[in-house]
Structure 1
Amino acid sequence: MLTVSTRSGAVCSSSCSCLPLRPSPSLPPSPQNINILFKPFSRRSLLAALTVSGAPFVVSNDPNLPAHARGLFQMPAVRLTNRYFLVRAGESEFESLGIINTNPVTKTSVDSGLSEKGKKQTVRAAFGLKEMGACESNCWIWPSITQRAYQAAEIIASVNGVSRSYIVPEYSFLDARGLGAYEGRKLEYVSEVYESDSISPSIRPPPIDDGTPNESISDVFVRVTQLMSILETQYSKDTVIIVSPDSDNLSVLQAGLIGLDLRRHRELAFAPGEVRFVDANSIPTYKQPPSAVFKCLNPPNCN
């Protein structure tokens, strides 16, 4: 079970609960404050809050590990402990119909799986990884639990001779970016989302009440940074294949690693079934473009 230890003394588990071990000094004991102190938090919102606040935290399987022993993975990356391959799953059934589908409620549905074209794209990706020698010395495959991403992971494992025990499903940090009110609309409407992204990474799509999140690029950035924090502390000198159901997780992650202004993440878009190797030894220093449109003093975090 994943355990997160915070400086405040709280111990949180992946079962989406967080109970402080001692009262906060800023909240005097009272019946009202007890409800605040013991209010449950979701795994994603807790870690997002810690990221925004800058509070150090530890991601570990050992609940006794001291909180100061590890830190949050920083973007852009100074170094990488592991080798990483980024893979976008092949075309989904919804994509084949030209429909936007990002609601996490349906992410494990068969309808969210790979289309016939998507399966072929993923097979090509799997053989591409084999040609690149991704799993010659063993590898870990980290797919989103989303149906198409997990199907892609199984195909990659089969082609590369990787045991299913080396497939580690990720339950929330690799969810497809939630597009809010665009859910169920035609795929071409995604261009409107990317126009907003180019203005500010903090702009969210319009909300909707069907359970679909409306995530900004900054929200996605928080998720993929947390994912890298886990991978960089859980493994050392290993190969990790990250399998995402969509492009935005990967383009934002790559932009963060190289220090590219997040408003330009679309320039790094992944096609269905595309594979890229992240070279830990050649992450470039990002230089500001001579542009009046993109001005960023602290990439990748720019508004």
Structure 2
Amino acid sequence: MASQPPRWGERTLVMGVLNLTPDSFSDGGRYLDLEPAVAQAVRMSREGAHVLDLGGQSTRPGASEVGAAEEAARVLPVLRALLEGRLPAKRPLLSIDTFRAAVAEAALQAGADWINDVSGGRRDPALLQVVAAAGCPLVLMHSRGDSRSMDGLAVYTDVVAEVRQELLRATDAALAAGVRADQLIWDPGLGFAKTTEHNLSLLRGLAALRQEGFPLLLGPSRKRFIGAVLDEPRPRARLWGTAAVCAQAISAGADVLRVHDVGPIVQTARMVDAIVRAEP
């Protein structure tokens, strides 16, 4: 059985990234085959992941898009294997990282628990109706354009205010499609149509986003802006920068951290929770 749905505010949840793609920016191809993917899911579960996020479509800047059939072919066999007993009895929640309604629907029918949409419902609005029918959590992430165009759309006058307004519009669309407000989780989309300074400004302004009342998910893991600050070109060498961002995000009210390095970030979150939450 899956872990119970979170009671927001009690502790920080850690979401482990499982990229089932050949071209993701830091681990593309490592988990393209079934057995390595399942082994990594088991490893992250043992390290304390509360949620596992399975993705079959790379969303890094410049990535090529595959069709729904190929995306589903990458994700569904791994999802089914994990649901058939490969994880511990009290398994993490299983999230599907997709912006396609057809993939979301197939995954939910197979037993997935969450949908994580990097487009916030923009790319395929029918996904909102699928989530409404399922009644599952939905992550609305802020982004602009797609993988090919987003870098050219990183233009803001006030990035915190504009991300807030665009997430509110995405929320209105979700509610109009029948999604309940208590299903929604906000993600400001670090690295998506944002420069390094935009990302840093968002991190300074997280409290303003949290005030809207939605649980907040952050995905800083190994991102390009951390490499820029640290002068570190190797994504896998950006763990400590990622941990620093995660600590600040928890202090500002983040509820979920989406990361590749689950074990160290679980420890980071537990320590920061002990300091900043009333009842760790």
TM-score relative to the length of structure 1? 0.31
- Which structure carries more relative contact order (alpha carbon 8 Å, separation 6+)? 1
Larger radius of gyration: 1
Task: Please identify which structure carries the higher helix content.
Answer: 2
TM-score relative to the length of structure 2? 0.33
